[in-house]
Structure 1
Amino acid sequence: MGFVASVLCMIGFVLIHLFARHLKFLRKRPRSHFLSIAGGISVAYVFLHLLPELADFQESLKGEGILGFIEHHIYLLALLGLVLFYGLEKYVKSSHKGRREDSSLTHNPGVFWVHIGIFTLYNFSIGYLLVREEFTESLGPLAFFVALGVHFITIDISLDEQHDRDYARYGRWLLATAIAVGWAAATFTDLHPFILSYLVALLAGGIILNVMKEELPEESESSFRAFFLGAVVYSLIFIFI
């Protein structure tokens, strides 16, 4: 991605993390159609951009890296990313459920810091990829920004609902900073290609899980039509730009 485009995307992502929690209309039930559209866009981005990119990495890095001896190791890492985020969500939800069932249990800051810590690394990876992504079309960076921007909004709303004051006081600032630090790291350093491929793989798994955990639970009261619309429209735009 060009320098100016990467700077604009980085600033946009930082602003999303700082101010998404103030979008009160996204918290209504049944689930906001915007969030379901965002889920469709994010899934389309994974299948149309990230997974083909993983295929390219898989072909070019055969035999390299820690897991290079495994034929489809890059997809194994994507699966690992999905499992990691699934385990994290189960850990956080079980902690919240325990406090609801036993009012004598106090707030556990450790749960918050583990949760935010993982997402901080997640955001650092995206900040790094901001600079390293390559696009053949001029509108490619815009498509990238839209897909991850709406994904970040979904994550921010979810984290704010789960952690409330802790997220407002610390979490959103850490996530915003991680984007900027990742961008700076990519600007001034070079990662080995197989490390970069691992970041993309973990990101793909993380996005799929984060979208599914927001869209599939019955209590979310999600809109399939909105999800479908987001996926189809973004796919058509992505195919033709």
Structure 2
Amino acid sequence: MIFADSESDLDNIINSEDEDFIYDSDHDTQSELDEEEDILAETDNKLKYYLAKNKITQWKKDLPNQRIRTRQQNIVIDQPGVKEYGKLADTPEKCFDLFITPKMIEEIIYHTNQKIKIVSQNYNQCEGSTKEVYITEFKALLGILYLAGIFKSNHQNMSDLWKSDGFGIDIFRVTMPLKRFRFLIHAMRFDDILTSEERKVVDKATHIRNIFQDFVDMPQILYNIRICNPR
């Protein structure tokens, strides 16, 4: 606290408070920053790696020693790419058969016909839409489902897809009747319908387990990601 001895001293104190004062620092801020940057740069130069933004990943500055023998587990035997079996597919149909194999189609047809024999008893025997399905017709069914996905019609009413007024898709109508298509979709099965309930107790996905597993295994058979020698 400052005490004034006289009125003149008081005026000087008041006037001095209205003035701007500039204080000179003994430290040079810019020089300190430059010095800190030099220290950081020197530290970075001493490190043998660059540190990534996540402050965890390290990138080595120098190439690894080429004279050191490559570890056995790092030796690449086969280059990534399609295997020889897959390269034999030179048409769209053959490529399709690589993923939806003839074995898978035969299995689906077999179990579908099992279902057809059971449900066809509820229909008029003279009605052609309840007959068993064969491979040619089944592939046509898969083709319709495939095209429905291409046309993004999976949420569209099936009756609209078979319309003949110009708003339907002609290839659907000329491939098979709508009534037959609905019946096959209803009857399609992927496993043995007679034993499915017993297997479902152990495996909830038993209805599609075999077909799904075959479908998952095929890309591993057809394509090589990378194979290394075991450790």
Structure 2 length-normalised TM:
0.25
| Richer in strand (by share) | 2
| Richer in helix (by share) | 1
Structure showing greater Rg: 2
Structure 1 length-normalised TM:
0.24
Q: Which has the higher contact order (CA 8 A, sep 6+)?
A: 1
